[in-house]
C-alpha cells in the first residue's frame, strides 16, 4: 500500500492545490488605444485569415482584461493598407499614427503551418510569434533586451486526420485563440493550476 502512495499523493496535490497567481511579464501603459499589428512580411503565411483571427482574438483579450482601453479594428488596418501603396515601407510608428493608436502590440509571425506539407493527409497546426510593445512617439518599450521581440511559446496541435473541407479554417481559429491567450497573459496578472505551475517549473530546470 505504501509503495503506491507516491503517485496518488502527487495527483492529490495537483488536483486539490489552489491555483497560483502569475505576475505579468510586462505591464503596458494603461488606458491606451492599442493597435495589434500582426506582421508576416519576412515570412508570408499561406493562409491570410490567420492574421485577422489573431488580431481580433487579441483585441478582445486585451480590452476584456483592461490591458487596452480600446483596440483598433482589423478592418481599419486593412483599409489603410489598401489606400496606401507604400504601406509595407511604413514604420510601425507611422502605421500607428495613421490609425490614431497610442500603443502598438506588434506580433512578428515566425512560423505558421496547418500541415507539414500539402501532400501529407494529416493536419498538424503550429504557430510561433515574437511580440514587442511600441510607443509611436518613444519607440520600442518592451522588450528592451531582445531586438527581435519576446518569443512566445509555440502553439501546437498534434497530428490528426480530418476530412472536412473547412478543417483548415477551424484549425487556424484554434491556433489564433490559443496564441492570443498566451500573448495577452504576458500583460496581466492571471491564475494557473498547480499542475501547470509544476510543469512550468520542470521546464525551467
Q: Write out the chain's pLDDT in tens, 205 residues.
A: 344 455 544 545 555 677 889 999 999 999 999 999 999 988 899 889 999 999 999 999 999 999 999 999 999 999 999 999 999 999 999 999 999 999 999 999 999 998 877 767 787 889 999 999 999 999 999 999 998 999 999 999 887 887 767 777 999 999 999 999 999 999 999 887 877 767 666 665 6
Domain spans, the chain: 21-204
Which burial class, exposed, middle or buried, applies to 34 when counting CB atoms under 10 A from its CB (0-12, 13-18, 19+)? Answer: buried
State the pLDDT at residue 9: 46
Residues linked to residue 106 through DSSP beta bridges, in sequence order: 37, 132
CATH number assigned to the domain covering 21-204: 3.40.50
Gyration radius of the chain's alpha carbons: 20
Q: φ and ψ at 90, to 5 degrees?
A: -75, 145
State the pLDDT at residue 24: 96
Amino acid at each position: 500500500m505504501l509503495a503506491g502512495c507516491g503517485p496518488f499523493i502527487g495527483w492529490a496535490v495537483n488536483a486539490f492545490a489552489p491555483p497560483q497567481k502569475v505576475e505579468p511579464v510586462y505591464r503596458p501603459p494603461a488606458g491606451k488605444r492599442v493597435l495589434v499589428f500582426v506582421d508576416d512580411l519576412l515570412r508570408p503565411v499561406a493562409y491570410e485569415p490567420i492574421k485577422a483571427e489573431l488580431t481580433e482574438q487579441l483585441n478582445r483579450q486585451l480590452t476584456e482584461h483592461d490591458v487596452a482601453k480600446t483596440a483598433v479594428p482589423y478592418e481599419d488596418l486593412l483599409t489603410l493598407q489598401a489606400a496606401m501603396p507604400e504601406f509595407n515601407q511604413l514604420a510601425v510608428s507611422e502605421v500607428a499614427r495613421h490609425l490614431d493608436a497610442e500603443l502598438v502590440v506588434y506580433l512578428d509571425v515566425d512560423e505558421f503551418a496547418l500541415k507539414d506539407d500539402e501532400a501529407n493527409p494529416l493536419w498538424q497546426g503550429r504557430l510561433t510569434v515574437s511580440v514587442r510593445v511600441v510607443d509611436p512617439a518613444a519607440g520600442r518599450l518592451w522588450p528592451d533586451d531582445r531586438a527581435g521581440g519576446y518569443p512566445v511559446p509555440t502553439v501546437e496541435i498534434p497530428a490528426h486526420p480530418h476530412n472536412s473541407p473547412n478543417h483548415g479554417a477551424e484549425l487556424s481559429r484554434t491556433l489564433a485563440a490559443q496564441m492570443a491567450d498566451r500573448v495577452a497573459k504576458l500583460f496581466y496578472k492571471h491564475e494557473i493550476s498547480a499542475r501547470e505551475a509544476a510543469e512550468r517549473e520542470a521546464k525551467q530546470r
